[in-house]
Structure 1
Amino acid sequence: MKNLLHVAVLSLFLMGCGDDDLYKTSIPILEEGVLGVQILDTDGVEVDGARISIFDDNNVFVTSAFTDSIGERSFELQEGVYTIKVAAQGYIPSPVQGGIAIPVQINGGEATDRSIPLTFDPNAANTTYIQGNANIRGNLVVISDDANAYSTFTDSNGNYYLYNIPAGSNYKLTSYHTGYETDLLDVSLSVDTPILDKNINARQSSALPELTGSVTFLATKNGTVDITVTLPETGDVIPGAVTYTSGTYTMNDLPKGQFKVWATYNNDGYVMDPDWIAKNGGEDSALGLVVNSSNLTKNFSVTGAVELVSPTNSLDEVTPKVISTTTPTFEWKAYSSAQDYAVEVTDIDGNLVWGGVEWSGDEAAPIATPKHGSIGSVTSIKYNFDNNPETPSLEDGQLYKWSVTAINTGNTAISTSENQVGIIKVELPQ
């Protein structure tokens, strides 16, 4: 990524400043920062026309744009935490469908660069794309068949673009947004004939149901957490379906569909209690939500998160912690009642790199076992300490995320670390 963005932001500070202003100790902090994104293929060639979508720290769509002829695009964003998703015809999306993108911190008056690689899709010759208009900005558009679902969000003009869809004749196309109703459309896709004008009639409605509920804080002090409704097939947040609560909550005008409701995605010191999820029939039962025409209730139990020590970004920002080794030692604080821990490392696309939890037993009472083997009550282990021959080495210049799951004597997962901590970047000495 070129450094022109940094020069541009610095110019904002210097414009309008007299000579004496350069020596003042008080520099105004801008509310907006600049995010520069460059998209390259695996050969290092710039990807022209890739669609970059930006999401906030609740995974809510913010904005989108296409890369230029040198594979770049910049965004002016309010100070905060964001994630980046990229899609282009002929390439595997980043992150992969259902994957978790590593967050990026935007600071007011500063420029931040991200270079994101795209891998050629080996099945590209058997895929096509569909685009059209869905009436409103930020509308979640989904095309699905019995096996797969593909999603995107509309831009400021209500336009949508869905790439790399396998040819088929049994697709359903629809959209989701609070306050709006949309019909299911039948769609047939052919490799030879991309669909360029399939419009979706999202209609505003005042007769949609509401969701109410409460949050119980287990073995921890009360606080404020976010409540978010998502589409389980893709992991996308339903636009408008996010709220915050320290006890009870109400969410109005939900669209019809089958969803999942999550609590406390943000770095707030809390996570959903894994044991509560297990005792309520597993994730599908505890978090599942079918919206028709009736009002609904969904309650949650949350608990304190496992606290990471090193290496990790801080709780209040997601700037990656730079490490100078490919075999880092992970350290965290002991968690009450934990008798074992499972450490997991994922890459920038959310793909598992090492460790994690092996789940067994039935859904109502799942058994959690560390994939890297039991480590007991120790609170520090080295990457790939189990010498798994299938574990890849961490790569210089790459971003990763690590997390911890706490497990009790009954092999029940009782807590995890926060969603947006444990972000690291490998930078080896030159």
Structure 2
Amino acid sequence: MSRSRLGFALVVGPLVALAGCGDEEVRRGDEGCSVLEQTGCASGLACEEVEDGEPACFTPLVVRGRVLDAGTAAGVAGAHVIARDANSAAVSRVAVSGPDGGYALQVAAKRDREGRPVVASVTLRADAAGYQSFPRAPRVALPLDLATATGKPLAIESVATEILLLELEDVAGLGTVSGTVAARAPGGTLVTAGGATGVADFDGAFTVFNVPAGSHEVRGYAEGLRLASARVAVDAGRVTSGVVLSSLGEARAAVSGKVSIVDAPGGSETSVILVPVETFDASAKRGEAPRGLRVGGVRGGFVIEGVPDGTYKVLAAFENDGLVRDPDTSIGGTAIVEITVADADVSLSESFKVTEALAVIRPGAERMDEVQGTPEFVWADDSSEGRYEIQVFDAYGNLVWEDPNLPSVSGNAEVKVTYGGPPLEPGMIYQFRATSMSKGQNATPLSQTEDLRGVFLYR
């Protein structure tokens, strides 16, 4: 982490124009500027990191888009939008959508010497009262490359900045919790309250929508932060404000273990994430990973450092990498592990078994597809299977249809299955999951489609 990210005021040279940037993008300052505190720049300019140089002041880069109701395509007013980097750390404050769902989000963007944004991937998160947060597995946010910003001032507006939110099934009895994470570098802290979540911005400000009425413990999770929780009383239709999650010092615990990759292409690697139990959906086996509580490039042993106190589910091969957790729970190393961290290291005694996934062909092979009529689900054949099972979930994690007795195929590279459940709801997002089963009466699972593929929007 650079010194500017930690809030040091860094002094740069005298006021000069940056070559190639035009009159409106300048570097300033006898007094210097701070990236974290956003001080030291003239009005309308933002302090940004500079590649191979000291932080300087620039015309801000803005991400523009709309937040829409997935069912009606109407704009969602009052939605909170924030940008996060690859580690889920916040790289913006919060933008609030207008009456038509439109928003303009100023995003921190590291620059080169000419003032152009360097290649950097960010994703967007959106939350609103009465709607499911985005992204939420199996839905993923499309990455935005800040280097693709154009215009003057620099801006990004694309299909990836149009965010579809799903209206909650039941909004009665829900309230809102807002407050501050009072710690160093709080941006991106995942805040939980009554099963709902929010995320803190640059300044530590957070809002958690759709919290059930009642008494709840508010907790914050982020790599390196130990935060005190806060007990709050939530009333339906009201905002419980002024909640403070104060720092208890640095989180130093490490979670370590081993992943065993079997029956998969050579040289494969995967990732491991920690998911707070209050965000975990047991039926769909998914949850939210806080900032930094992830390790990638895992081929064997792994360590996740700076883990805050809490109880977590440990998920391996959750992301799209051609691998899945071995679904055969009759053997060791395949069950989902739960751990509790209490300011001390945790070492997992048994390795995770990971295997090659069943490749999704359609829908949802690479991103969320739109589907009309009666869906057909297609995936790659597993040559050693005795039969297949298929399940279809809606975006809330509800199982809407399953068929556990699909016959095996022979001589085919693809398995094709036509949906046979109740009518699908237009505007709803669904995911299909296929599992290959071994032969014989006591069949066991062999492999599955990946956790985040097979997602589609029904029109």
TM-score normalised to structure 1 length:
0.71
Report the alpha carbon displacement of residue 218 of structure 1 after superposing the two structures with TM. Answer: 1.2
Secondary structure, in 3 states, of the residue corresponding to 1:196? strand
| 1:225-278 per-position Cα deviation (integer Å, ceiling 9, x unaligned) | 111111122122132111122221222221111101111222211111111x55
Corresponding residue for residue 192 of structure 2? 142
User: Does the C-alpha gap of structure 1 residues 352 and 230 become closer, same or farther in structure 2, counting only changes over 3 Å?
Assistant: same
Give identity over the alignment, percent. 21
For residue 160 of structure 1, report the CA deviation from its aligned partner. 0.9
Offset from partner CA, 1:82-119 (integer Å, 9 cap, x none): 5754322xx142469x7532543546637215352453
* 1:167 corresponding residue in structure 2: 213
SS state of the match for residue 233, structure 1?
helix
Shift of 1:414: 2.1
Deviation at 1:351, TM superposition (A): 4.1
Q: CA deviation at 1:173?
A: 1.9
Aligned partner of 1:185 in structure 2 is 230
> Does residue 262 of structure 1 match 2:262?
no
Indicate whether 1:37 and 2:37 are aligned.
no
For 2:62 and 2:404, the matched residues in 1 are separated by: 44
Once the 2 structures are TM-superposed, how far is the Cα of residue 47 of structure 1 from its aligned partner?
A: 2.5
Which of 385, 392, 395 is equivalent to 1:345?
Answer: 392
Matched, 1:411 2:411: no
CA distance in 2, matches of 1:61, 1:352: 30
Deviation, structure 1 residue 65:
2.9
Q: Tell me, yes or no, if structure 1 residue 93 matches structure 2 residue 140.
A: no
Quote how far apart the aligned CAs of 1:158 are.
0.3
Contact 1:401 1:423 in 2 (8 A): yes
Tell me, yes or no, if the aligned pair for 1:57 and 1:266 is still in contact at 8 Å. no
Q: Structure 1 residues 345 and 199, CA, compared in 2 at 3 Å: closer, same or farther?
A: same
**1:132 aligned to 179, 197, 200, which one?**
179
1:165 CA drift (Å): 2.3
Assess, with a 3 A threshold, how the Cα gap between structure 1 residues 213 and 373 changes in structure 2: closer, same or farther. Answer: closer
2:356 partner letter: G
Q: Tell me, in whole angstroms, the C-alpha distance in 1 between the residues paired with 2:353 and 2:431.
A: 25
Superposition map of 1:152-231 within 5 A:
152-168=198-214, 170-191=215-236, 194-205=239-250, 208-220=252-264, 221-231=266-276
1:104-162 CA deviation, whole Å, 9 max, x = no partner?
354663721535245377544x3322211012111121224xxxx22211112101112
Indicate conservation of the 8 Å contact 1:34/1:111, yes or no.
no
Q: Letter of the aligned partner of 1:205 in structure 2?
A: E
**Scaled by the length of structure 2, what TM-score is found?**
0.67
Specify which structure has the bigger relative contact order, considering alpha-carbon pairs within 8 angstroms and separated by 6 or more residues: 1
Instruction: Please give the residue correspondences for 1:358-373 in structure 2 after superposition, counting only pairs within 5 Å.
Output: 371-373=402-404
Report the residue type matching 1:93 in the other structure: Q
Listed one character per residue, the Cα deviations across residues 5-57 of structure 1 (whole Å, up to 9, x for unaligned) are xxxxxxxxxx99xxxxxxxxxxxxxxx99673322386665332112355678
**1-structure distance, mates of 2:322, 2:382:** 13
Shift of 1:288: 1.0
In the alignment, the residues of structure 2 paired with residue 287 and residue 57 of structure 1 have an alpha-carbon distance, to the nearest angstrom, of 25
**3-state DSSP class of the match of 2:452?**
coil
Pair 1:181–1:215, CA change in 2 (3 A): same
Which residue of 1 is the match for residue 324 of structure 2? 271
Residue in 2 that maps onto 1:243: 295
Tell me which residue corresponds to 1:326.
Answer: 373
* Structure-2 separation of matches of 1:116 and 1:127: 21
Which 5+ residue runs of structure 1 have no aligned equivalent? 1-14, 17-31, 356-370
How far does the alpha carbon of each residue in 1:322-375 deviate from its partner, in whole angstroms, 9 at most, with x for none? 55x42232222221432121223344x3544643xxxxxxxxxxxxxxx32411
CA distance in 1, matches of 2:376, 2:169: 35
Gap change, CA 1:352 and 1:83, over 3 Å in 2: farther
The separation in 2 between residues aligned to 1:222 and 1:346, in whole angstroms, is: 32
* Aligned residue among 278, 290, 306 for 1:233: 278
From 332, 342, 359, give the equivalent of 1:292: 342
Q: What residue identity is the alignment partner of 2:200?
A: T
**In structure 2, what residue type is equivalent to 1:415?**
S
RMSD: 3.5
Structure 1 residues 246, 282: CA separation in 2 closer, same or farther (over 3 Å shift)? Answer: closer
Task: Give the 3-state SS of the residue equivalent to 1:239 in structure 2.
Answer: coil
| Higher alpha-carbon deviation: 375-384 or 56-65 | 56-65
Instruction: Decide which structure has greater helix share.
Output: 1
* Change in CA separation of 1:382 and 1:336 when aligned onto 2, cut-off 3 Å: closer
**What is the deviation of 1:61?**
6.5
Match of 1:104 among 104, 120, 142: 142
- CA shift, 1:291, in A, is 0.9
Structure 1, residues 369-392: CA drift from partner, whole Å, max 9, x if none?
A: xx324112135334324xx4xx11
Q: Which deviations, in whole Å up to 9, do the C-alpha atoms of 1:392-411 show, x marking residues without a partner?
A: 1464x765433322222333
Q: Unaligned regions of 5+ residues in structure 2, if any? A: 1-20, 23-60, 110-118, 149-156, 280-286
Distance 1:344 1:212 in 2: 33
